[in-house]
A and B are shown apart, each in its own frame.
Chain A
Amino acid sequence: DIQMTQSPSSLSASVGDRLNITCRASQGIRNHLAWFQQKPGKAPKSLIYAVSSLQSGVPSKFSGSGSGTDFTLTISSLQPEDFATYYCQQYQSYPFTFGGGTKVEIK
């Protein structure tokens, strides 16, 4: 199975900050990498697929990059509504696997 490792597991940031969250796969997954956002008590929301393609309706302050095994989610200017937990997921092969999550909190 492909293991996904996210870092950091949590961070504190301020409104307006630029944020990077990294995700590393235990083997190459081509571009089969997605990012999700989840707020407390809510279902996850899909943000990005194929490393860097935004899902419909997702603002352009979110962006994704990377290739092979190393990937990054960037939030260009953190807003209050962006404080949440973010997960990466590989969908290269079954079983699909998620990273452990990165909780973004207000500093």
Chain B
Amino acid sequence: EVQLVESGGGLVQPGRSLRLSCAASGFTFDDYAMHWVRQAPGKGLEWVSGIGWNSGYIGYADSVKGRFTISRDNAKNYLYLEMNSLRGEDTAFYYCGKGQSSVAAAPVDFWGQGILVTVSS
């Protein structure tokens, strides 16, 4: 059974950093691209970042480029999102998503339950 479990969320002050983790199980992790998608309270879905199976073909939303860094550890079956210089508008539920294939140009086919990040003083 595919499982994606996010961790590392919580309350953080503006300007500070936070690292989200996503533990993957139930599939061959290094066969698939992975993504982060977020949703501000009461708003729609926003794709944040994606990474290919071998950490190639990395992309970011314009809203986070230069502040967020996606990475993965295929030996540990973990996906990460390092978030720096956090702003109030980064407040959202963050979802980890499994890509449909190894290539990053493939949609999410399975989602984690999400974790809340709140940026506030």
Interface residues of chain A, those whose CB is within 8 Å of chain B, are 1, 32, 34, 36, 38, 43-46, 49, 55, 85, 87, 89, 91-101
Q: Is the CB of B106 within 8 A of A91?
A: yes
- Of B35, B50, B106, B111, which one neighbours A43 at CB under 8 angstroms? B111
Partner of B109, one of A55, A93, A95: A55
**Residue interface mask B91-114, A partner, CB < 8 A = 1:** 000010000100011111111111
The verdict on A98 contacting B107 (CB below 8 Å), with A43-B114, A44-B95 known, is no
Cβ–Cβ contact B111 & A45, under 8 A: yes
**Taking A49-B100, A95-B59 as contacts, is the C-beta distance between A87 and B44 under 8 angstroms?**
yes
Contact of A1 with B62 at beta-carbon distance under 8 Å, contacts A43-B114, A44-B45, A97-B47 already known: yes
Give chain A's interface secondary structure class: loop
User: A95-B61, A95-B62 are known contacts. Are A49 and B109 too (CB-CB below 8 A)?
Assistant: yes
Which of A1, A55, A92 gathers the greatest number of chain B CB atoms within 10 Å?
Answer: A55
Give the total number of A-B pairs whose CB atoms are below 8 A apart.
Answer: 62
Q: In the complex the two chains form, is B50's CB within 8 Å of A36's CB?
A: no
Indicate if the CB atoms of A43 and B47 lie closer than 8 Å.
no
Is chain B's interface secondary structure helix, strand, loop, or mixed overall? Answer: strand
Q: How far is the CB of B79 from chain A (nearest CB, A)?
A: 15
From B44, B45, B59, B110, contact of A94 by CB (8 A) = B59
In the bound complex, what is the Cα–Cα distance between A34 and B109 (angstroms)? 10
CA A97 – CA B114 in complex, angstroms?
A: 19
> In the bound complex, do residue B95 and residue A89 qualify as a contact, i.e. CB atoms below 8 Å apart?
no
Closest to A53 in B: B100
Interface residues of B in 8-28 (CB under 8 A from A): none
Chain B positions within 8 Å of A32 at CB level: 105
Q: Are A95 and B47 in contact (CB under 8 A)?
A: yes
Q: Which of B59, B60, B108 is in CB contact (< 8 Å) with A46?
A: B108
